[in-house]
Amino acid sequence: MQTEYLQFNKRDLSHAGELIRAGELVAFPTETVYGLGANALDENAVAKTYAAKGRPSDNPLIVHICDKSQIYDIASEINDYAKTVIERVMPAPITIVLPKRSVIKDVVTAGLPSVAIRMPQSAEARQFLRAAAVPVSAPSANISGRPSPTTWQRVREDMDGRIAAVLCGAPCEVGIESTVLDLSRQEPIILRPGAVSAEHLSQLLGVQVKLLTDPDSKVNSPGIRYKHYAPKVPMVLALDDDFDKLCAFYDQKVAEGYNPVLWAHDPLRFVGRNAVSMGLDDGDAATKLFETMRMLETKYDFIIAEFCQSKNGIYDGPASRGVLDRLLRACGHNLI
Ligand code: AMP
Ligand code: MG
């Protein structure tokens, strides 16, 4: 299949919309990461998503909308917490999980009775969704297991020849996937941390919004069981602020014949060693995270990452938990 690379002009947007309604896959930018869109009401189109990504079929997709009224068409039992989030938070880098209506088929939700819904903040994403004129199911537009793409060029690396089109928009500003908030239970719970923090949601909803951290209770968000975001080279993570340990680990890897890199808050500290910045704060770290990961794996053969949340308060903003979650998955919880 020859993939078309489309621009944000009237003609290309309307063509992207036609492709979606014809049951084809179109990758598109959002503020979080690039998505791989399909008509969420067309089972055959949605099935193509799993094939193009090599995604396990028990990992559900998020349904993207551009108008809040669409939520009521695809979800039911919209409780007061959900109403508050819909009214006061959306559009934002947040996905809400609600009981689904029958228009949303099992292929979208991987057989779950609930549906995940997101209304992106990105103007480009909403232009595309308006052109599509149907709810659009979309996971991240990467081969399953790889770091999510935050530029259209990274989508091309993974998806060229596998999908009908890519809408070439701006690089993603948030950089990590949306916060997934389950509102289908009595108490709201975060299934996946993102840029909208637990603290912010707790304050807004007047109830402590917890994060799903117990591995045994992850039944409600099958996707988070899978290995994710893995770079092609080995990676370890240090969560403390131990300069000497990092240097010793680096030197040992050099002695073993590796060309390692330190991915750290302050690369200038590591003079004479390969070092790259993790970001000025947690928001910046999120924005650059996947792009840097994909760059590092091409230049080095061992990644030694450092992320110390308490470090001078630099990494303790709203995106901190989300960045930590992605780093832990990327290194397969391989801590030093
Ligand atoms: P992705 O953004 O590509 O990682 O995929 C969407 C993620 O949203 C999935 O991996 C799940 O973790 C989550 N998700 C989607 N639908 C549901 C649902 N009905 N219930 C719980 N979590 C969901
Ligand atoms: Mg993904």
Per residue in 6-25, pLDDT (tens digit) is 999 999 999 999 999 999 99
pLDDT band at 310 (very low <50, low <70, confident <90, very high): confident
Q: What local confidence, expressed as pLDDT, does residue 156 receive?
A: 98
Question: Average pLDDT in the 34-62 region?
Answer: 94
Smallest CA separation from ligand 1 atom 1, residue: 139
Q: What local confidence, expressed as pLDDT, does residue 311 receive?
A: 67
Rounded to the nearest angstrom, the distance between the alpha carbon of 20 and the centre of ligand 1 is 21
Q: Is the pLDDT of residue 260 over 80?
A: yes
Q: What local confidence, expressed as pLDDT, does residue 227 receive?
A: 60
Question: In angstroms, rounded to a whole number, what is the distance separating the alpha carbons of residues 335 and 240?
Answer: 10
Query: Where is average pLDDT lowest: 111-125, 127-141, 143-157, 221-235?
Result: 221-235
Q: Is the pLDDT of residue 218 over 60?
A: no
Which segments of the chain belong to CATH 3.40.50.11030? 235-330
Burial code of 171-189, b = ≥16 C-beta within 10 A, e = fewer? bbbbbbbbbbbbbbeeebb
On average, the pLDDT of the chain sits at: 93
Q: Is the pLDDT of residue 77 over 70?
A: yes
Whole-model pTM over 0.85: yes
The order of strands in the sheet holding 260-264 is 235-238, 302-306, 260-264, 275-277
Smallest CA separation from ligand 1 atom 3, residue: 139
Helix residue ranges per DSSP H, the chain:
10-21, 43-53, 69-74, 80-88, 106-109, 123-132, 152-159, 198-205, 243-255, 282-299, 320-330
- CB distance 149 to ligand 1 below 6 Å: no
Question: Average pLDDT in the 155-171 region?
Answer: 98
- CB distance 60 to ligand 1 below 6 Å: yes
Question: Average pLDDT in the 71-98 region?
Answer: 97
Q: What local confidence, expressed as pLDDT, does residue 199 receive?
A: 95
User: Does residue 91 have a cis peptide bond before it, meaning omega lies within 30 degrees of 0?
Assistant: yes
- CB distance 140 to ligand 1 below 6 Å: yes
Q: What local confidence, expressed as pLDDT, does residue 57 receive?
A: 83
Question: Average pLDDT in the 141-155 region?
Answer: 95
CATH architecture of the domain covering 235-330: 3-Layer(aba) Sandwich (3.40)
Instruction: State the amino acid at position 317 in one-letter form.
Output: G
Q: What local confidence, expressed as pLDDT, does residue 14 receive?
A: 98
Smallest CA separation from ligand 1 atom 23, residue: 221
Q: What is the pLDDT of residues 265-276, one digit of tens each?
A: 999 999 999 999
pLDDT band at 299 (very low <50, low <70, confident <90, very high): very high
Shortest-distance ligand to the CA of residue 36: 1
Question: Average pLDDT in the 310-321 region?
Answer: 85
Q: Is the pLDDT of residue 160 over 90?
A: yes
Question: Average pLDDT in the 84-94 region?
Answer: 98
Query: Where is average pLDDT lowest: 53-57, 135-139, 167-171?
Result: 53-57
Q: Which atom of ligand 1 is nearest to the CA of 114?
A: 19
- CB distance 109 to ligand 1 below 6 Å: yes
Rounded to the nearest angstrom, the distance between the alpha carbon of 229 and the centre of ligand 2 is 8
Q: Is the pLDDT of residue 214 over 50?
A: no
Q: Is the pLDDT of residue 223 over 70?
A: no
pLDDT band at 114 (very low <50, low <70, confident <90, very high): very high
Higher pLDDT, 161 or 213: 161
- CB distance 287 to ligand 1 below 6 Å: no
Q: Please report the beta strands in 161-254, taking only residues with DSSP state E, as ranges in sequence order.
A: 165-167, 179-182, 189-192, 210-211, 235-238
Question: Average pLDDT in the 50-78 region?
Answer: 94
Q: Is the pLDDT of residue 219 over 90?
A: no
Which segments of the chain belong to CATH 3.90.870.10? 4-211
Structure tokens at 46: 């949605």
Q: Which of 141, 197, 176 is nearest to 290 (CA)?
A: 176
| Helix (H/G/I), strand (E/B), else coil: 305 | strand
Q: 4-211 has which fold?
A: DHBP synthase (3.90.870)
Rounded to the nearest angstrom, the distance between the alpha carbon of 150 and the centre of ligand 2 is 12
- CB distance 115 to ligand 1 below 6 Å: yes
Smallest CA separation from ligand 1 atom 22, residue: 221
Q: Is the pLDDT of residue 293 over 90?
A: yes
Higher pLDDT, 241 or 141: 141
Residue 45, phi then psi, degrees to nearest 5 = -65, -45
